[in-house]
Amino acid sequence: RDTRAPFRFDYERFRRSLRHPVRGGRRGEDPETRARRMKIKEMMKFAWDNYRQYALGKNELRPLSRNGHIGNMFGGLRGATVIDALDTLYIMELEEEFQEAKQWVEKSFDLNVNGEASLFEVNIRYIGGLLATYYLTGEEVFKSKALELGEKLLPAFNTPTGIPRGVINLGSGMSWSWGWASAGSSILAEFGTLHLEFLHLSELSGNPVFAEKATLSLSQVRNIRRVLSRVEKPQGLYPNFLSPVTGGWVQHHVSIGGLGDSFYEYLIKSWLMSDKKDSEAKKMYDDALEAIEKHLVKKSAGGLTYIAEWRGGILDHKMGHLACFSGGMIALGAQHGPEERRQRHMELAAEITSTCHESYTRSDTKLGPEAFRFDAGSEATATRLSERYYILRPEVVESYMYLWRLTHDPKYRHWGWDVVQALEKHCRVESGFSGIRDVYTTTPTHDNMQQSFFLAETLKYLYLLFCEDDVLSLEDWVFNTEAHPLPINHTDFKA
């Protein structure tokens, strides 16, 4: 029988350890910056009010038909927009709206569901959103829901290698791989994007099993790293598909965009979150970035730097919108290391961010396409019909926010404001915001979907771009890949 004293997380002590007030304390900005920030706050209120009116409890708002969408990604869980919006509402001081969201979590958020969920999406949106809101507010309901939901994800790790499968039934605990993933493989960005959240689940619960699962072996999450360090990496690169049965690569496709992206992001962020103690994560990040610089970073004929994809040794000269987060990631990682490397990485970060900016300015709507290419006669533009859409994605403004904080070059605020104006012009409809089907026409049709990440990420990063640096300071917080802030572990908070 376990006779240890019950674990209790000391929230007050945690709050005292923060170096800056959560919502910042500095004032003294110019009126224009404040006015722009207030505009973004108004957009958030508009997005939330319409969701609340027409779709509360569903996962997303369909703003044109004024109803809700549930989808099949979250295994029967509801309220994705509520959970994703909580911390943004709180940071923007939309108090009444925050209370509405909190009330829904207390009264209506049901975890006893039976359905197929994406382990990755539930982790980054639901667990991430609940954890962040707990750390920001200290309200126990968010912590207990996060821990209860975290328990339901653990069976996905019961595989021969401990590498989790991508889909889990939240009722039965059965898990399997995505039908579209070749030969039953697990996806690098999915199993590599659990560490931050699971570390905090383990911190808050006193149950190390979470950290083990996520670090692929704080027993299990740390075990994921063990498997990855053992397997041979083609030219130092990590392919996107790995077998949860054998622990070997299933096919050699490498990308910093979808399927690979957040694996790299969570390596540098795991190190930052550990207060720079997780040296294994830092080394994996440094080595991976070196391989990316060597094999994937290219310059177009017109002088644009981009990160190509690698398919079994053949380069595909395209970049996805999802890969545009990498400018911010590389800038964040560049702050720590020898000066020569710091400068090189800051230049690379600025160049990639500038290329992603070009993908926006070269469209008629001034919003960027889902993917853009660099081949004969075409640079930073989508050449395929199937890649011309924009679904309110955040990655480009995410990089603007990091580059602004780390350089204070005013162009990043100008670029961010251009995005605000384009969103208002092309995506704002009578009852919310909608993605558009083609960025290369001045009269785009809408896709009738207000994605939950628009409230979690796009509007949060835009807001922070026009805040002082001490609002959700990078000295205190690391953003998960859904822009939910999780604290850097300055000390140990067991009561």
Annotated binding site for Ca(2+): 481
User: DSSP for 283-339?
Assistant: HHHHHHHHHHHHHTEEE-TTS-EEE-EEETTEEE-EEEGGGGGHHHHHHHHHTSS-H
Structure tokens that stand for 478 in this block:
């690391």
CA 214 – CA 149 distance, rounded (Å): 15
User: DSSP for 431-476?
Assistant: TEE--BS-TTSSSPPB-S-B-HHIIIIIHHHHHHHTS-TTTT-TTT
E-assigned strands of 157-231? 167-169, 175-176, 186-187
> 55 near 48, Cβ under 8 Å?
no
Q: Which of 121, 203, 398, 476 is catalytic?
A: 121
Output b/e per residue, 329-338; b: 16+ Cβ within 10 A.
Answer: bbbbbbeeee
Which residues are annotated binding-site positions?
481
Phi, psi torsion values for 68, nearest 5 degrees: -105, 160
CA 374 – CA 368 distance, rounded (Å): 15
Radius of gyration of the chain (CA): 21
Task: Using the structure block, give the residue that is written with the tokens 């369909």.
Answer: 62
Q: Which of 84, 87, 97, 261 is catalytic?
A: 261
The H or E element spanning position 265 is: helix 261-273
Q: Which of 84, 265, 395, 398 is catalytic?
A: 395
CA 19 – CA 483 distance, rounded (Å): 20
> 168 near 155, Cβ under 8 Å?
yes
> 115 near 75, Cβ under 8 Å?
yes
> 217 near 229, Cβ under 8 Å?
no
CA 169 to chain centre: 23
* 121 annotated active-site: yes
Q: Quick one: which of 383, 366, 363, 362 has its CA closest to 374?
A: 383
Q: Which of 190, 351, 370, 379 is catalytic?
A: 370
Structure tokens that stand for 381 in this block:
């533009």
Give the type of residue at 141. V
Helix (H, G, I), strand (E, B) or coil at 379: strand
**Mind telling me the catalytic residues?**
121, 261, 370, 395
